[in-house]
Amino acid sequence: MISFTLSEQQQQIKDMTHWFAENEIRPIALEADRLGYVPNDWLDKVNKMGIHLNTTSLKSEDDKSGKKSKKEREGNRMGVIATEEIAWGDPAIALSLPGAGLGGPPIQSSGTPEQQERFLTIFKDDKPRWGAYALTEPEAGSDASAVEMSAKRVDGGYVLNGQKIFITNGKRASWVVVFATVDPTLGRAGQRAFVVEKGTPGFECSRLVDKMGLRANETAELLFTDCFVPDENLLGGEELYKQKEKGASGFATAMKTFDSTRPIVASMAIGIARAAYEYTLDMVKREYPKQSRLIHVAADQLAKMDAQISAARLLTWEAAWKADMGIANAQEAAMCKAYAGESALQVCANSLELLGPVGIQDHIVEKLYRDVKVFDIFEGTNEIQHLVIARRQYEPYGIRV
Ligand SMILES: Cc1cc2nc3c(=O)[nH]c(=O)nc-3n(C[C@H](O)[C@H](O)[C@H](O)COP(=O)(O)OP(=O)(O)OC[C@H]3O[C@@H](n4cnc5c(N)ncnc54)[C@H](O)[C@@H]3O)c2cc1C
C-alpha cells in the first residue's frame, strides 16, 4: 500500500508554491488574460526569485547524482504537488514561467550528457529563458507517427523543412526540441528529434495563435525552411538511432516524454478545478439563502466536485509515484491525464452554473472555464488517452484496438 500523506519536505514545497501562487500570480492573472501576455518585468522578477516551470525537476539533483535510492526519489511527486499550486494561481501564467517546459524531459531522457549540459543549464541565467517542444503539425496531432517535417542528411548535419503548429512558448524559446522524419516510408523508425536553437537561419516563428483560453500564454506556429542543424544537435546523437532493436527513434523519445509530462499536465487541470471549486464553495456559503432547497442542490454539486478533484489527484500521484520508482506508468499517466482533464472541465462548468450571473466575463471562474478546455486536448486528447488504456486491456487477448 502507498501512503499519500505528504512528507515534511513535500508539505514545504506545497506551502511555498501556494504562497507564491496566491501572492504573486493571482493578483496579475485577470490582467494578463486581458492583455494576452505575461508582462516581461514580472517574468524578470520571478526568474530572479528562481521560480521556473521545472519539468526537469523530474529528476532532482540528488536523483541524478545517484545519491538517492529508488525508494527515496521524489522529483515527479514534487513536480505534481508544486504544479497543482501554481496552476491554482493561474494556468496560463504557470505555462509561461521561465524554464525548459515540455522540451526538458526529452533532453533529460534521450540527450547525451553534453546536450544535457548545453541545453538544460541555461535556465540558471539572470535573464528568463524558455525551452519548447514541437511535435504537432497541421496533419499530425494525435497521430504523432504521421509527422511530415523532413530531415535530410547532409555533410555535418541535417536540413529541416516543414511547419509546426500550436507550440507553447515557441517564439520566445532559446531552443525547441523538433521532431522530423528522415524517411516518411519508415514510419516511426524514420523519426529523429533535434534541438533547434533560436536564431538558426531558416527557423522562424510565422505567427502567434489567438486562443479562447490560456490567452496569457504564447502559442506559436514555427516554420523551418532549409534549416541546417549540426550533428551535435541531433538528440541522443547518431548512436541512439543505431540502437534500432531497442526501439530508438524520435517517436520513442516523444512517447517516453508523455509518461512524465502527462501527470504534470493533469496536476495543472486539478489546480484549475480546485480554484473554481474553492471560489464557488466560498460564494455558496456566503451568498446562498440558508435553509433553502437551493443550498441542498449546491451542496450535492459541490460534494461531487470535491470527490472528482480528490480522485483525479490520487490517480495523478500514483502515476508520479510510479515514475519516481522507475515503474512503467504509461497507463496511469494516460488515466490521470484523461480523468483530470475531463473532471476539471465538469467542475468548472458546475461552478459557473452555481455562480449564476457572477460567472460573467472578466471573472476568475469564467476565465478558468475557458482555460480548462484545452486540458482534454494537449498532451494527447482524451480519446487518445483512452486508446492508450484500452490497448493495454486488449493486448493480452491478441486484440489490437
Ligand atoms: C494551447 C495549446 C498548446 C499546445 N502546445 C503544444 C506544444 O507545446 N507542442 C506540441 O507539439 N503540440 C502542442 N499542442 C498541440 C496538441 O498536442 C494537439 O492539438 C493535440 O495533440 C491534438 O491534435 P490535433 O489538434 O491535430 O487534433 P486531431 O489529432 O486532428 O484530433 C481531432 C479529434 O479527433 C480525435 N481522434 C484523433 N485520432 C483518433 C483516434 N485514433 N481514435 C479516436 N479519436 C481520435 C481526437 O481525439 C480529437 O477529438 C498544443 C495545443 C494547444 C491547443
pLDDT, residue 62, reads 47
Nearest CA to ligand 1 atom 30: 141
From atom 2 of ligand 1, which residue's Cα is the shortest distance away?
Answer: 166
With a CB cutoff of 8 Å and minimum separation 6, the contacts of 41 are none
State if residue 234 touches ligand 1 by the CB under 6 angstroms criterion.
Answer: no
Atom of ligand 1 nearest to the CA of 380: 21
Domain 131-247 class, CATH top level: mainly beta
Residues 87-116: tens digit of each pLDDT: 999 999 999 999 999 999 899 889 999 999
Residue of 214, 205, 162, 202 whose CA lies nearest to 33: 214
To test the ligand 1 pocket, which listed residue (194, 381, 391) has its Cβ within 8 A of the most ligand atoms? 381
- CA of residue 163 to ligand 1 center, whole Å: 15
Q: How far is CA 251 from CA 179, 180, 238, in A?
A: 8, 9, 15
8 Å CB contact between 86 and 49 = no
Q: Quick check: CB of 173 below 6 Å from ligand 1?
A: no
Give catalytic status of residue 239 as yes or no: no
Polymer length in residues for the chain: 401
Q: Where are the domains of the chain?
A: 8-123, 131-247, 251-397
pLDDT category, 60, cuts 50, 70, 90?
very low
Dihedrals phi, psi of 384, to nearest 5 degrees:
-70, -40
Distance from Cα 382 to the centre of ligand 1, integer Å: 9
Cα(370)–Cα(344) distance, rounded to whole angstroms? 11
How far, in Å, is the centroid of ligand 1 from the Cα of 354? Answer: 31
What's the angle, vertex CA 344, arms to CA 342 and CA 349, rounded to 5?
A: 100
Higher pLDDT, 280 or 57: 280
Kindly give the number of the ligand 1 atom that is closest to the alpha carbon of 164. Answer: 11
Quote the ligand 1 centre to 141 CA distance (angstroms).
4
pLDDT surpasses 60 at 67: no
CB atoms under 10 Å from CB of 306, counted, come to 16
Q: For residue range 3-38, what is the model confidence (pLDDT) as tens digits?
A: 789 999 999 999 999 999 999 999 999 999 999 999
Q: Which residue has the cell 512524465?
A: 260
Selecting among 239, 379, 383, 395, the annotated active-site residue is 379
Residue closest by Cα to atom 35 of ligand 1: 383
- For the stretch 196-216, pLDDT in tens is 999 999 999 999 999 999 999
Give 131's contacts (C-beta < 8 A, 6+ positions apart).
99, 100, 101, 102, 103, 104, 107, 119, 123, 169, 173, 174, 175, 176, 177
Q: Is the pLDDT of residue 357 over 90?
A: no
Percent of the chain whose predicted confidence (pLDDT) is above 90 = 75
CA distance 158 to 179: 12
Q: Are 218 and 168 in contact (CB under 8 A)?
A: yes
What is the residue-averaged pLDDT of the chain? 91
For residue 278, the number of C-alpha atoms closer than 13 Å in the C-beta half-sphere is: 11
pLDDT band at 254 (very low <50, low <70, confident <90, very high): confident
Lowest mean pLDDT among 28-37, 146-155, 281-290, 380-389: 281-290
133 in contact with ligand 1, CB cutoff 6 A: yes
Residue 57 pLDDT > 50, yes or no?
A: no
**From 119-123, 290-294, 296-300, the region with the lowest mean pLDDT:** 290-294
Nearest Cα neighbor of 201 from 224, 167, 175 is: 224
pLDDT at res. 187: 83
381 lines ligand 1 (CB under 6 A): yes
Q: Is 347 in the pocket of ligand 1 (CB under 6 A)?
A: no
To the nearest 5 percent, what fractions of the chain are helix, strand and coil? 60, 15, 25
Question: Is 251-397 assigned to CATH 1.20.140.10?
Answer: yes
Tell me, using a 6 A CB cutoff, whether residue 138 lines ligand 1: no
CATH number for the domain whose boundaries are 8-123: 1.10.540.10
Encode pLDDT of 307-323 as tens digits. Answer: 999 999 999 999 999 99
Helix (H) or strand (E) holding 157: strand 157-168
Indicate whether 146 pLDDT > 60.
Answer: yes
Minimum CA distance residue for ligand 1 atom 26: 141
pLDDT band at 59 (very low <50, low <70, confident <90, very high): very low
Instruction: Tell whether the model's pLDDT for residue 382 goes beyond 80.
Output: yes
Q: Is residue 366 within 8 Å of 352, Cβ to Cβ?
A: yes
